[in-house]
């Protein structure tokens, strides 16, 4: 299969690529689309065969459920049954964070094929704020199942070029909408009612919507839900080993602990690129990528994370050494991806 990449730069180009994508999706094919988090591999969520093609193209195990994207509350109501005891919280979170990088796990309606949810009684749902993605789902008038557009387990793509490297000749179309604005996958939560005025919000995967943002809507519980080998995930983004480069990766908590093997070459993933942090001069690195040069701004680090990790993976180094990332704000999401890549 020949993969075509179409640019969505100008309004005229966008209209053309939206029409092309809608045609292919209606035909039961899969298309790589930009979102604000990472590029997604989309299919009509009601078409089980099309969704099966996602699993085949990604080499994704069938037990790992997909996220379903909707155009708004009206479409959401066609695929989920929101329990009355959490309905107010769901509506508040929708008003606060949609469209945006928040995914909620909710009880599904039977119209959602079992292949999408890996047989679970729940489905993970969100609404993207990317204008190209939003226009496509509006024109299609159907929900889109869309996990990240990469081979299963590898680094998520934040550019059309990265998608092409992963899935060329496996899918018919990639829409180039530019670099993703958030750079890491969406936050995933599950809401649990309590006797208290506010519910429990179970954090299943950290992302751009941070713990600090969620706290005013409920008690945030950081669940230790990463799945051990052979254990079935209960939502997307729960497998222990994920988001990994092909090159082995190690998080080095302290620069003094670095002991180089003379027969190996090393690359460095630096947080701030500051000499006072102690990592830059401990080795003659084959390649250095800095997530947030000088300032250490976590949102900037998140945007650059997968791009930088991919550059290091392509450097030819034998091992990637990663500096630790502060586990606060969106840094929690970056650290989560690093820890899973390092397993």
pLDDT for 81-100, tens place per residue?
Answer: 999 999 999 999 999 999 99
Q: In this structure, is residue 132 part of a structural domain?
A: yes
Choose one of 152, 176, 200: the last residue of a domain: 176
Domain match, 172 and 255 both = no
Q: In this structure, is residue 223 part of a structural domain?
A: no
Domain match, 134 and 8 both = yes
Q: In this structure, is residue 295 part of a structural domain?
A: yes
Domain match, 153 and 9 both = yes
Task: Scan for tokens 């969406």, then name that residue.
Answer: 186
Structure tokens, 327: 């586990």
Q: What global pTM score does this model have?
A: 0.93
According to DSSP, residue 275 is labeled G
Domain match, 169 and 258 both = no
* Rg from Cα positions in the chain: 20
Structure tokens, 144: 């889109």
CATH number at 54 reads 3.90.870.10
Domain match, 264 and 160 both = no
Q: Answer yes or no: is pLDDT of 227 > 50.
A: no
From the list 244, 198, 206, 199, the residue with the least C-alpha distance to 225 is 206
Q: In this structure, is residue 80 part of a structural domain?
A: no
Domain match, 147 and 60 both = yes
Cα distances (angstroms) measured from residue 6 to each of 17, 28, 174, 319: 7, 19, 6, 35
Q: In this structure, is residue 232 part of a structural domain?
A: no
Number of domains the chain contains = 2
Cα distances (angstroms) measured from residue 271 to each of 58, 81, 157, 227, 317: 30, 42, 20, 28, 19
Q: Answer yes or no: is pLDDT of 228 > 90.
A: no
Domain match, 144 and 263 both = no
Structure tokens, 60: 């994704």
Dihedral in degrees, nearest 10, Cα atoms 137, 336, 91, 142? 20
Choose one of 176, 195, 217: the last residue of a domain: 176
Are 166 and 148 spatial neighbours (Cβ–Cβ below 8 Å)?
A: no
Domain match, 30 and 170 both = yes
Domain match, 152 and 12 both = yes
CA distance 72 to 143: 10
Structure tokens, 94: 């929708």
Domain match, 38 and 119 both = yes
Give residue-wise pLDDT tens across range 44-82: 999 999 999 999 999 999 999 999 999 999 999 999 999
Quickly count: other Cβ atoms within 10 Å of residue 77's Cβ.
12
CA distance 113 to 250: 39
Q: In this structure, is residue 205 part of a structural domain?
A: no
CA distance 101 to 183: 10
Are 152 and 67 spatial neighbours (Cβ–Cβ below 8 Å)?
A: no
Q: In this structure, is residue 129 part of a structural domain?
A: yes
Choose one of 135, 157, 176: the last residue of a domain: 176
Q: Which domain holds residue 142?
A: 4-70+114-176
Task: Check residue 232 and give its pLDDT.
Answer: 66
Q: Answer yes or no: is pLDDT of 164 > 80.
A: yes
Q: In this structure, is residue 109 part of a structural domain?
A: no
């Amino acid at each position: 299969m020949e993969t075509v990449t179409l640019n969505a730069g100008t309004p005229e180009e966008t209209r053309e690529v939206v029409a092309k994508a809608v045609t292919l999706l209606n035909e039961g094919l899969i298309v790589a689309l930009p979102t604000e988090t990472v590029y997604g591999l989309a299919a009509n969520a009601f078409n089980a065969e099309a969704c099966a093609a996602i699993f085949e193209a990604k080499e994704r195990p069938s037990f790992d459920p997909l996220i379903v994207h909707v155009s708004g509350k009206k479409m959401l109501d066609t695929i989920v049954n929101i329990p009355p005891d959490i309905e107010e919280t769901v509506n508040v979170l929708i008003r606060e964070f949609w469209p945006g990088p928040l995914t909620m796990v909710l009880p599904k309606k039977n119209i959602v094929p079992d292949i999408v949810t890996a047989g679970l009684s729940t489905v993970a749902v969100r609404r993207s704020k990317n204008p190209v993605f939003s226009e496509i789902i509006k024109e299609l008038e159907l929900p889109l199942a869309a996990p990240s557009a990469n081979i299963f387990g590898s680094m998520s793509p934040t550019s059309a070029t990265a998608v092409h490297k992963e899935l060329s000749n496996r899918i018919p179309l990639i829409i180039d909408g530019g670099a993703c604005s958030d750079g890491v996958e969406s936050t995933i939560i599950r809401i649990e009612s309590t006797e208290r005025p506010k519910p429990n919000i179970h954090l299943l995967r950290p992302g751009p919507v941070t713990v600090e943002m969620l706290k005013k809507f409920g008690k945030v519980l950081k669940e230790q839900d990463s799945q051990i080998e052979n254990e079935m995930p209960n939502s997307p983004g729960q497998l222990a080993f994920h988001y990994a480069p092909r090159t082995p990766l190690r998080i080095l908590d302290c620069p003094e602990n670095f002991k180089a093997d003379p027969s190996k070459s090393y690359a460095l993933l630096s947080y701030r690129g500051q000499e006072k942090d102690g990592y830059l001069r401990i080795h003659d690195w084959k390649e250095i990528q800095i997530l947030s040069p000088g300032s250490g701004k976590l949102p900037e680090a998140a945007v650059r994370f997968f791009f930088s990790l991919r550059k290091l993976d392509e450097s030819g180094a034998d091992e990637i050494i990663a500096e630790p990332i502060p586990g606060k704000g969106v840094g929690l999401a970056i650290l989560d991806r690093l820890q899973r890549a390092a397993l």
